[in-house]
């Protein structure tokens, strides 16, 4: 997972390609479990990369994009949140949702 920092945020947010951003807070136990699930997906598919955003450092982004809770997985293009997921039920479910999001991006 690639960490989003204040230094690289403008580069990440201006990218026209589809980005998947995992929003978390460091002491959230559910976030830690969700991150492990995403790590499994990254290991299974070496072409899949997620960005990791600490919600505490990006309050404006959280408010502007109406991110309601953590953990959250966001599908972002050109800085615009197109889709979001809050329920990290299983690795299989995450895989299926990501496949659907990717298919949507290709067909647009």
- What is the rounded CA–CA span in Å between residue 48 and residue 29? 24
Q: Note down the domain range covering 68.
A: 2-107
For residues 101 and 78, which has the higher predicted lDDT (pLDDT)?
Answer: 101
pLDDT per residue as tens digits for the range 7-61: 999 888 888 888 999 999 999 999 999 999 999 999 998 888 899 999 999 999 9
Domain count, the chain: 1
Which CATH number does the domain housing residue 11 bear?
3.40.30.10
- pTM for this one? 0.93
pLDDT score of 108: 59
The string of pLDDT tens digits covering residues 47-100 is: 888 999 999 999 999 999 999 999 999 999 888 899 999 999 999 999 999 999
């Amino acid at each position: 997972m690639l960490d989003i920092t204040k230094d690289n945020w403008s580069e990440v947010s201006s990218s026209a390609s589809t980005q998947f951003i995992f929003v978390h807070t460091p002491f959230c136990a559910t976030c830690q479990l969700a991150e492990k699930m995403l790590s499994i997906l990254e290991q299974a598919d070496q072409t899949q990369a997620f960005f990791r955003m600490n919600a505490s450092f990006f309050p404006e982004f959280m408010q502007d994009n109406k991110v309601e809770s953590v953990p959250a997985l966001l599908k972002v293009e050109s800085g615009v949140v197109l889709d979001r997921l809050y329920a990290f039920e299983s690795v299989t479910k995450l895989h299926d949702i990501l496949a659907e999001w990717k298919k949507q991006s290709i067909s647009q």
